[in-house]
Structure 1
Amino acid sequence: MHELNPNWSVYSPFVSSIVQAGESLGAPMDTLLIKAGIDKHLLKDSAQRFAVAQALQCFDLITEFSEDQNLGLYAGRVGYVDGLNLQLYMSTVCSTFREYLNLMPSMLRTTGDLGEVAMQADKRFLKLQWHPLWQPSGEQRHLSDIVLSMSAAIVDSLCVQPIPVREAHFTYAEPRDTQMLRTVFGDKLLFGQPISCLFFDRDSLDYPLTRPYGDMSSAFAKLPVDHLFDKDHTQDPFLRELRQSLLRLLPQGRGNIDSVAEELTLSRRTLQRRLSERDTHFQQVLQQVRADLALRYLSDERLTVTEIAFLLGYSDQGSFSSAFKSWHGISPLEHRRP
């Protein structure tokens, strides 16, 4: 697609990462945000969306001010740190890198209308590919750099063993100065390639994920069972296992009865019968899990509403907000207000 769709938008954390990177380069961000038509006060709201065109204009304005061409790499580092809380939650429902990849958040759902990251594997490598929605952006550094640098940082921090980039491909032409690119991605860099892509060792698929410890452990690792449902319900092994399955499947968008039955190695009919024996049904359990999880996640200010929507298996923030209001009578943002 060669035309930039004026309806495409991104969530404010993406724009904020560009702003923070620009500030680190000494750019007059208040002035540049005005030029891009962005109200800086709205950046504090993680649910706020801005036009993709405005985000790209921020890149261009900062680049005009600074001779440093590594803006996307810096913004990617900021984005990585901003997403750490979601990674911590993911580590409570995954045990290996392979399992994490099966749950890997969609950029379209968590960031906005920029593009999608896809994983492919051959006999030797895992290939993390970046597919932008707006094809001409592949000729520029900014979007590729921010997505690939953030992805490289996430992958290398997930597991007990490091997972370094073995090779990196970029769709844009080779810049004059590649020192920072080599610092981030290593020395094997190829430019002018058809797809922006990072290569990792295939053996890393079975690496164990790091687990939260201490205070983090009590906040995150115990979440799946201890902080969700009343004690009478969690004493039922079947309901306990069903809810654990939902916790794993919801981020994949697979919180339906057929996926849960498959996860529990039951037929759909057997699952329905066992729930009926307990005077409940699948949709009731699903909504209870989502409603209780939503309250738990919202109590953690480090998670954005968009990230919570992803963890609960909703396609977008609006669908989650509507559901939450039906459960609790107010929106997620209203619930968070003091």
Structure 2
Amino acid sequence: MSGLFVPMTKANGLGNMPDLLEQWAGSRSVARAYGRAGLPMEVIQFPETWIPVDAIRSLFEISARAAGDRCFGLHVGKDMTHKTFGLWMKYSVQAATLRDGLIRANQSSRFQQTGGKVVFVPGAQVSFWRYVAPPMQTSSQVQHCDHLIWPTIRFIQSYLGPLWLPEWVDVSYPRDADARLLEAQVPFPVRFGTPYLSMAIRNRDLSPRTPRPFGDGQRITFDAVRASEAAGPSNETLGTVFNTITLRLLEGQTDIDGAACQLGIGVQKLQRDLRREGVDYRDLLNRAKRVRAQELLSDTDMTVIDIALSLGYSDHGNFSRAFRKMTGVAPSGFRARKDQMQ
């Protein structure tokens, strides 16, 4: 990887973590955990938002300590399924066989996370489906790793049935004094200290054809998954900055100084990196504002003036002129058109 790059993932990977933390430790603990992880609470309402992988790891560790439970991440994951992760997983679960489904997931996981990957590794009698996480700056990834165990198993169960369990599971952290608490919670062997989260799958389970279609029968193509992510730049540097701007817009923050600080670099370096890619900060900010405005007009009942203020515009008129310039239609017209299509 070259240039400015921060591994990021979609906030839908948090599952019901905020609700579970509130149940166990109270609503104030949720706000404190998000604040300490450097994340706005608004990502709970907008789970398709991209957030730094290190932030989600930190959030899980902070939340587990607040909840006082070594297996907090595992409990979060137990209430999740592969469907939690959105369109790329729905596409992956529609293949004819588990082997083909794993290959689909490998190809499309970049629409869920950057910097990490899922890999299918064939073996003589047992094959492996592995999640290789991005390099981390946080001190621990125990809770984040654990919360992925059950959604990964449920993806495979969608092909092999609800009784299927892995031969064993590898986790991406060393065994410690509390490892027995995890082992007591799961009905399969756990191996510690590998570089990845991995499911061991018997080879005979890879090829039988799935006897039933997924969900409501609506077929999803790879092109549809790719189109769902068309709003953001595909370039790594531009994607990192664009997603950072979008995340900060959740709190109405638009300044370049704050964006550079969140990226861990100086303003001048950020400007140089963007110039090297042929854009400036204002270009990406306007693009992020357009996408965010369209989401709010389509998916919420917020008034146009409230949307304008949330995006840093001083009044309704400035926002309407900017939106019309970017899209060719006024905000009210865009919302009316969306309502007619639904």
Correspondence 1:190-201 to 2 at 5 A? 190-201=191-202
| Counterpart-to-counterpart distance in 2, 1:54 and 1:154 | 25
Q: How many corresponding residue pairs?
A: 238
- Post-superposition Cα deviations, 1:32-85, rounded to whole Å, max 9, x if no partner, equal 223333222232123322233322221232122232111221232344252477
1:20 CA drift (Å): 3.6
Q: Do 1:160 and 1:207's aligned partners in 2 also have CA atoms closer than 8 Å?
A: no
2: CA distance between counterparts of 1:316 and 1:55? Answer: 24
Q: Which residue of 2 aligns with 1:82?
A: 84
Matches within 5 A, 1:270-289: none
Indicate the SS of the match to 1:127: strand
Structure 1 residue 146 and structure 2 residue 161: aligned?
Answer: no
Alpha carbons 1:13, 1:79 under 8 Å: kept: no
Which residue is 2:45 aligned to? Answer: 44
Question: Does the 8 Å contact 2:88/2:108 carry over to 1?
Answer: no
* Cα distance in 2 for residues equivalent to 1:96 and 1:201: 14
The aligned counterpart of 2:225 is: 309
Residues 318/127 of structure 1: CA separation in 2 closer, same or farther (3 Å cut): same
Counterpart for residue 13 of structure 1: 12
Q: Is the 8 A contact 1:76 1:147 kept in 2?
A: yes
Distance 2:77 2:225 in 1: 22
Change over 3 Å in CA distance of 1:138–1:204 after alignment to 2: farther
How far apart in 1 are the matches of 2:230 and 2:54? Answer: 21
2:320 counterpart of 1:318? no
- Secondary structure of the equivalent of 2:186? helix
- Tell whether the 8 Å contact from 2:121 to 2:128 is kept in structure 1 after alignment: yes
Contact 1:160/1:209 (CA < 8 Å) preserved in 2?
Answer: no
What's 2:275 paired with? none
SS of the aligned residue for 2:199 comes to: strand
1:12-161 equivalences under 5 Å are 12-27=11-26, 28-80=29-81, 82-83=84-85, 87-92=89-94, 94-104=95-105, 108-113=109-114, 115-134=116-135, 140-160=141-161
Structure-1-length-normalised TM-score:
0.57
Superposition RMSD on alpha carbons, in Å? 3.7
The DSSP-based 3-state class of the residue aligned with 1:104 is: helix
Mean CA deviation greater in 137-146 or 70-79: 137-146
Structure 1 unmatched runs, 5+: 225-246, 252-289, 291-307, 321-328
Cα distance, 1:152 vs structure 2 = 1.7
Amino acid at match of 1:58: L
Q: Which runs of 5+ in 2 are unaligned?
A: 235-289, 300-337
SS in 2 for 1:198: strand
The answer as to whether partners of 2:106 and 2:119 remain within 8 angstroms in 1 is no
Q: Distance in 1 between matches of 2:134 and 2:16?
A: 20
Distance 1:210 1:138 in 2: 44
SS for the counterpart of 1:318 is coil
- Kindly tell me: are residues 72 and 110 of structure 1, through their superposed partners in 2, closer, same or farther at Cα, counting changes over 3 Å? farther
Q: Counterpart of 1:178?
A: 180
SS in 2 for 1:102: helix
Q: 1:66 to 1:76 in 2, by over 3 A?
A: same
User: C-alpha distance in 2, partners of 1:210/1:108?
Assistant: 25
Among all aligned residue pairs of Structure 1 and Structure 2, give the percentage whose two residues are the same amino acid: 12
Residues 190 and 84 from structure 1, CA distance in 2 versus in 1: closer, same or farther, beyond 3 angstroms?
same
Task: Tell me, in whole angstroms, the C-alpha distance in 1 between the residues paired with 2:100 and 2:37.
Answer: 40
| 1:150–1:317 distance in 2 versus 1, CA, 3 Å | farther
42 and 98 in structure 1: CA distance in 2 versus 1, 3 angstrom threshold: closer
State how far apart, in whole Å, the 2-side matches of 1:201 and 1:171 are. Answer: 21
Cα distance in 2 between the residues matched to 1:335 and 1:194: 42
Give the residue type in structure 1 aligned to 2:232.
Answer: G
- Residues 149 and 184, structure 1, Cα contact 8 Å, conserved in 2: no
Q: Secondary structure at the match of 1:33?
A: helix
Q: In structure 1, what is the equivalent of residue 312 of structure 2? A: none
Paired with 2:233 and 2:55, the residues of 1 have a C-alpha distance of 25
- CA change 1:309–1:161 in 2 (3 A) is closer
TM-score between both structures, scaled by the size of structure 2: 0.57
Aligned counterparts of 2:42 and 2:23: Cα–Cα separation in 1: 19
Taking structure 1 as reference, are residues 317 and 77 closer, same or farther at Cα in structure 2, changes over 3 Å only? farther
Secondary structure, counterpart of 1:192 in structure 2:
coil
1:202 alignment counterpart: 203
**Amino acid aligned to 1:8:** P
Cα–Cα, structure 1 residues 71 and 171, in superposed 2: closer, same or farther, change >3 Å? same
Higher mean alpha-carbon deviation, 117-126 vs 29-38, is at 29-38
CA deviations 1:12-46 (Å, max 9, x no partner) are: 21245432443343352123223333222232123
Residue deviations 1:276-326, cap 9 Å, x none? xxxxxxxxxxxxxx6xxxxxxxxxxxxxxxxx534x5x7765269xxxxxx
| Distance 1:54-1:158 versus aligned 2 partners, 3 A rule | same
